[in-house]
Structure 1
Amino acid sequence: MAKLTIVAKTVAKTDSVESVKSEMLKLIAPTREEEGCIEYFLHQDNEDPTILIFYETWENYACFERHMSTQHFKNYVNTVGSMIKEKVVYKMTRVG
C-alpha cells in the first residue's frame, strides 16, 4: 500500500501567529511517536509568517485517521479554532 503524504496549510490570524505556532509545536513530539508516522515537520512561510504548513508522511490513511482522533490533536483543534483564518489539508500519494 502506498504511503500517504499530508500537506496541511493553516493561515493564522495576524494577531494570533505566535499562539497558533506554539500550539502546533506542541503536536510534534507526541505525533512523531504515533504508530505509522514517518515524517512530521512544521514550516513557516518566509514571506508571510501567518502561513504555517505541516508536511507529513504516514504509513497509510488509517494511521493518519488515528492521528486525528488523538487527544493531543483534539486539544490543538479546540485551542486554535478561533485563531485561524483558513485551513486546507491535501491528502496525496507520491506518483514519481
Structure 2
Amino acid sequence: MSHLTIVANITAKAEHVEQVKAELIKLIAITRAEPGCVNYDLHQDNDDPRHFVFYENWASRPLWQTHMANQHLADYMQATEGMVDVFTLNEMTNIG
C-alpha cells in the first residue's frame, strides 16, 4: 500500500465547540506543508456543529505516521484535553 486515506471524526463537547474548532483549524496550514500530505481538509457537520471530520490523503503510511508524531499534534491534544467526546480514526484505501 502506498497512498493512504485517513478519515478522522472528532465530536467536541457542546460547551467546547469553538475552542476545539479553533485548535483544529491551527493544524491545517502546518500539516498541508508536511512531506507526503496530498490533502488535509477539515469539515464541520451542518446539522451537528460539534462534529468535525478531517479527510486526509497521504503519499504513504510512513509519512502519515511521521505526521502523527509531530509536535503540533501533541500540542492539539494538550490544548483540547477533556473537550472532546468522541475521536475515531480510520485508515482507508481507495478501491474505486
Q: TM-score, normalised to structure 2's length? A: 0.97
In 2, distance between residues paired with 1:65 and 1:2?
13
Identity, in percent, stands at 45
CA apart distance, 1:2:
3.2
Match of 1:37 in 2: 37
Match of 1:60 in 2: 60
SS of 1:82 mapped into structure 2: coil
In 2, distance between residues paired with 1:6 and 1:68?
11
Look up the equivalent residue of 2:89 and give its one-letter code.
Answer: V
Structure 1 unpaired stretches of 5+: none
In 2, distance between residues paired with 1:91 and 1:4?
7
In 1, distance between residues paired with 2:58 and 2:49?
26
Q: TM-score, normalised to structure 1's length? A: 0.97
SS of 2:91 mapped into structure 1: strand
In 1, distance between residues paired with 2:77 and 2:63?
18
Give runs of ≥4 in structure 1 deviating > 4 Å.
Answer: none
User: How many aligned residue pairs are there?
Assistant: 96
The structure that is helix-richer by fraction is 1
Structure 2 unpaired stretches of 5+: none
In 2, distance between residues paired with 1:17 and 1:39?
24
2:37–2:57 CA contact under 8 A, matched in 1 = yes
